[in-house]
């Protein structure tokens, strides 16, 4: 979907210049999408480190049996981190991408969605441990990034 900006300004040559400059710069949003994708990637990494989604949504603890299994098996290094028990974990499969119209952080592990959304099935229960998504702090950061970009676009 293409965005089109058109304007007609009579008089006020400085305003016309600023609006023309902003319209030209806003045609390619790739730089701001790159910044947003990077900020979201850092936020997702922080979610893993803090074992929470944002500041308020702390992940549920691992079951005692899972904790004991990690300590007694080869996963000793990952015993402290819920979603990082081995070298081939979800965290290592995170990646960011961007274009002129979107910023994205995704995970290439097929089971990542089960951890992110939880699995309330009878045969298989997994508590929700959200790591992907946009929380309130992310929204505020995205607004700040956009404000900086728009100020730069109009030369402010």
Q: What is the pLDDT of residue 53?
A: 93
Where does the pLDDT of residue 140 fall: very low under 50, low under 70, confident under 90, or very high at 90 and above? very high
Judged by DSSP in three states, 49 sits in helix
Count the domains in the chain: 1
**Residue 8 pLDDT > 70, yes or no?**
no
Burial of residue 43 (CB within 10 Å: 0-12, 13-18, 19+) is buried
- Report the alpha-carbon distance of residue 14 to residue 16 in Å, rounded: 5
- Report the alpha-carbon distance of residue 156 to residue 134 in Å, rounded: 28
Range 92-118 average pLDDT? 89
- Domain assignment present for 5: no
Mean pLDDT of the chain: 81
H or E element: which one contains 104?
A: strand 103-107
- Domain assignment present for 6: no
Where does the pLDDT of residue 9 fall: very low under 50, low under 70, confident under 90, or very high at 90 and above? low
- Domain assignment present for 98: yes
Range of the domain at 94: 13-153
- Domain assignment present for 129: yes
Query: Residues 6 or more apart from 7 whose CB is under 8 A from it?
Result: 19, 20, 23
Q: What is the pLDDT of residue 41?
A: 96
């Amino acid at each position: 979907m293409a965005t089109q900006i058109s304007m007609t300004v009579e008089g006020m040559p400085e305003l016309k210049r600023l609006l023309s400059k902003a319209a030209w710069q806003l045609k390619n949003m790739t730089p701001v999408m790159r910044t947003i994708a990077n900020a979201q990637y850092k936020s997702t990494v922080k979610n893993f480190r803090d074992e929470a989604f944002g500041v308020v949504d702390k992940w549920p603890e691992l079951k005692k049996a899972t904790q004991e299994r990690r300590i007694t098996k080869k996963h000793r290094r990952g015993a402290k981190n819920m979603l990082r028990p081995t070298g081939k974990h979800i965290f290592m499969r995170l990646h960011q991408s961007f274009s002129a119209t979107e910023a994205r952080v995704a995970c290439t592990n097929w089971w990542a969605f089960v951890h992110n959304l939880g699995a309330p099935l009878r045969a298989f229960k997994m508590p929700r441990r959200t790591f992907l998504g946009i929380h309130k702090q992310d929204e505020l950061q995205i607004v700040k990034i956009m404000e900086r970009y728009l100020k730069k676009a109009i030369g402010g």
